[in-house]
Amino acid sequence: MTDYNKKRLFLTYLKDLFHQSGAKPYIAIAVLIGMGLTQGVGLLMLIPFLQLIGIGYSAPEGIVATIGKVWGFTGLPLNLPVVLAVYVAIVSLYAITQRWSTILNSELSHAFTRRLRDDLFTSMTRVQWLRFIQIRASDINHVMTSNLASIDNATYGLFALISQIFVAFVHIGIAMALSLTLSCVAIGSSVLLLLILRPLNRRSYELGEEWRQTMSGLFGVLMDHLSGMKVARSFGAEERHIRSFCSLSGNLERQANRFAGILSSTGMYYEIGGVIVVSVFFLVGIQVLQIPVSTLLIMLFLFASLVPMFSWMQRTWQGTLNMLPAYRATLEMMDKFRSAGEPQISGQAIPVELFKGVEFQNVSFRYDKESQTFVLHDLDVMIRARETTVILGPSGGGKSTFADLLTGLLTPDRGSVLVDGKPLEGDLLHSWRRSVGYVPQESLLFHETLKENMLWASPESSEEDIWDALRMASADEFVRGFPDRLLTVVGDRGVRMSGGQRQRISLARALLRRPTLLLLDEATSNLDSTNEHRIIEALRELRGKMTVVFISHRKSVVEISDRVVTIEGGRAFEESTIQN
């Protein structure tokens, strides 16, 4: 990235920071200015202190005369106890202000990061399904965690940097009031040092980009292994993931060490340069300008404190540059989510009651929009209301794509999906999703209680409703056998339950929302014949009471159907009408 783009990215970051935070950043800056002025006044108090101990001016002039006039205006006696008391009061005020500023800076940085996180998550939940499945999950995870953590730390550092800039200006202002010539010598030396260190700033940004890319790869390997651990174990391929992970982890270590080298080099150059500047400063002040000792001592104190201050500011700025690639990646992810977002409705989605049915009219669909290969071709299928329709077909024939079109997750490339004659789009799309009970092949249960897992689908349901849904799914008997019943914690992904139990809980959860259409997508494919029979018997009880679509590659489910449709090779064939 060019320097121009880097500057533009930083200005975008700064604009977003101030825009999202309202008036708080300006309050923080006002506090920072107050801190700088307070510290400046505290430094000026050294002048009357030096006068009292005998290292003062013989005749008041310039800034010394001004301090004398201000002191006289207060009416306070010029003695050591009073001067020290005023000095302690000013330093205490500075410390209190600094504490307030630190808390305010923390609030600002965390609030900015939280808004980014919330906006990212909100945008992610509204992405069109097709676009969402094309984004690597590890990239989302990386942005939501590592990138946002970098932004949070750098934002806090940026406000601290602004604080130090104001304090530095006050130091420089006091020094220039004492001796303009000597101050210019010191400032010129500092500017020269900044120019020498400029390449380190550019390298900080480059390392930030390298770190972001390596961390993204590390997250990718981690997520791949977590999702495919069973396959990796069964193939004995763990070493492959270990090698990839350890290689990327080593790269991160080297990049972190290189960035630490940049920061330590900055500190080293400032230490050496600072000693040189102070030495030149002392030599010019005494032998050339012949500045009074009291002035020289105060200026020496000022610039001796400025050297570590400049060093810290330089390292903080390098940390900000190191963060910018993470901020850019966050903005890119946000843009990706928003550009692929579904239209939102203004009001609340009201569930749909199905009277006639759902009709697929000449529906064709392809995942790759630039390809001419369609997954589904000219489908004409009618799902009649209050009937059980079984969708059969081999794996890869297009059944799951049909399910995603039926729920409105996907949009046809050609043709239409009609709900009671109305196109499944706009406000109807959101209402329709509120009306569908979905039971996937892999039951999704959270590490919560059974009750909380059930209420996830219908938060307003009562405990009586839950037991009723469990009964309809033939799950109430084994749930009553648990010691804690509905308060049983199911474990991560329901590991404390058998596969058949998990699937019946998943069915009960779908039934709890009293759906207009119940969709089971290969819901029995991973079950043994006993558990499959229990699911089928539960669905038999729903026949004629609810619109049910059962997608499967097993013909054993045909016995509960009113109609059978086979999808094979992307085309649909209605086989028969079953009379049971």
What are the tens digits of pLDDT across the range 509-566? 888 888 888 888 876 666 666 767 777 777 777 777 788 888 877 666 677 778 888 8
pLDDT at position 39 is 63
pLDDT at position 1 is 45
Segment 231-250 shows an average pLDDT of 67
pLDDT at position 543 is 76
Query: From CA 393, how far away is CA 413, in angstroms rounded?
Result: 22
Query: From CA 211, how far away is CA 207, in angstroms rounded?
Result: 6
Tell whether pTM > 0.75.
no
Segment 449-469 shows an average pLDDT of 82
pLDDT at position 323 is 83
pLDDT at position 326 is 85
Q: What is the Cα Rg of the chain in Å?
A: 35
- Nearest alpha carbon to residue 451 among 469, 432, 472: 469
Lowest-confidence range among 66-80, 200-214, 471-485? 66-80
pLDDT-based confidence at 50, cuts 50/70/90? low
pLDDT at position 467 is 87
Residue for token digits 């799309």? 429
User: Residue 343 forms beta bridges with which residues?
Assistant: none
pLDDT digits (tens, 9 = 90+) for 99-118: 777 788 788 888 888 888 88
Q: Which residue has the higher pLDDT, 467 or 290?
A: 467
Residue for token digits 């005494």? 286
Query: From CA 81, how far away is CA 79, in angstroms rounded?
Result: 6
Walk me through the domains of the chain, giving residue ranges and CATH numbers.
Answer: 21-120+128-339 (1.20.1560.10), 357-577 (3.40.50.300)
- C-alpha distances in Å from residue 295, one per residue of 176, 264, 289, 330: 11, 33, 12, 51
Kindly state the tokens that stand for 222: 């981690």
pLDDT digits (tens, 9 = 90+) for 132-161: 877 877 788 888 888 888 888 888 888 778
- Nearest alpha carbon to residue 167 among 263, 229, 98: 98
Query: From CA 395, how far away is CA 375, in angstroms rounded?
Result: 12
> What percent of the chain has a predicted confidence (pLDDT) above 70?
73
H/E element holding 383?
Answer: strand 376-384
pLDDT-based confidence at 235, cuts 50/70/90? low
Count CB-CB contacts under 10 A for residue 199: 10
Side-chain-side CA neighbours of residue 539 (13 Å): 33
The answer to whether residue 492 scores a pLDDT higher than 70 is: no
406, amino acid identity: L
Kindly state the tokens that stand for 401: 């794509």
> What percent of the chain has a predicted confidence (pLDDT) above 90?
0
Segment 405-423 shows an average pLDDT of 87
The answer to whether residue 2 scores a pLDDT higher than 50 is: no
341, amino acid identity: G
| Alpha-carbon dihedral sign for residues 212, 218, 222, 224 | positive
The backbone torsions φ and ψ at residue 300, rounded to the nearest 5 degrees and listed phi first, read -65, -40
Query: From CA 76, how far away is CA 426, in angstroms rounded?
Result: 76
Segment 295-300 shows an average pLDDT of 67
pLDDT at position 575 is 64
For 126-159, letters b (16+ CB in 10 Å) and e give ebbeeebeeeeebbbbbbbebbbebbbbbbbbbb
The answer to whether residue 294 scores a pLDDT higher than 70 is: no
Among 248-252, 349-353, 463-467, the range with the most confident prediction by mean pLDDT is: 463-467
Query: From CA 473, how far away is CA 541, in angstroms rounded?
Result: 9
The answer to whether residue 35 scores a pLDDT higher than 50 is: yes
pLDDT at position 265 is 72
Residue for token digits 């509905």? 486
User: What DSSP string runs through 430-474?
Assistant: HHHHTTEEEE-SS----SSBHHHHHHTT-TT--HHHHHHHHHHTT
pLDDT at position 345 is 67
pLDDT-based confidence at 58, cuts 50/70/90? very low
pLDDT-based confidence at 3, cuts 50/70/90? very low
The runs of H, that is alpha helices, within 179-292 are 180-196, 198-227, 229-235, 238-283
pLDDT at position 262 is 73
Segment 190-210 shows an average pLDDT of 71
Average of per-residue pLDDT values in the chain: 75
Q: Count H helices, E strands: the chain?
A: 20, 10
pLDDT digits (tens, 9 = 90+) for 83-97: 777 777 777 777 777
Segment 310-319 shows an average pLDDT of 77
